[in-house]
Amino acid sequence: MSVGHLMKISRGASGVAASSWVDLGGATETFAVDSPESMFVLTTGALYRVTACGDVNEIARTNYDALYPSSMAIDASGVITIGMRQFIARWIPTEGSYRQEWLTKSDCTLMVRDKFECKCRGGS
């Protein structure tokens, strides 16, 4: 099961209320604010840019599975860095798109899937 919504929180005469605002189609893993008007959100299936108006733009389909993405940062040049178990994924802006790059330990020469976890194998 992977369900995710962004919630809108508002304060009114009757107090604070939360309501579903944007359906992301998958559970949120992590996010980072890009500007006062937008943020990037990583779900179980995709990386999105969401604007303050509620517009959702898919940046890329993802499948980080059991890598447990837990942090995201955006640098001044727009590079999105996502921290996970044993790995870091970077989404680098290119002309009208993004290119994914993986960072691993220096002795990791091959990433393999084993029982829903990624492990490093090899190295010399």
Rounded to the nearest 5°, which phi and psi values hold at 104? -135, 180
Mean pLDDT value across residues 110-120: 62
Confidence of residue 124 (pLDDT cuts 50, 70, 90): very low
| β-strands 117-121, 110-114 pairing | antiparallel
Q: What is the pTM of this model?
A: 0.81
Q: 């994924």: which residue's tokens?
A: 89
pLDDT in tens, 58-112: 999 998 877 889 999 999 999 999 999 878 999 999 998 999 998 887 777 666 6
Task: Please state, in angstroms and rounded to a whole number, the distance separating the CA atoms of residues 91 and 100.
Answer: 5
The least confident of 1-5, 98-102, 116-120 is 116-120
For 69, other C-beta atoms within 10 Å of its C-beta total: 21
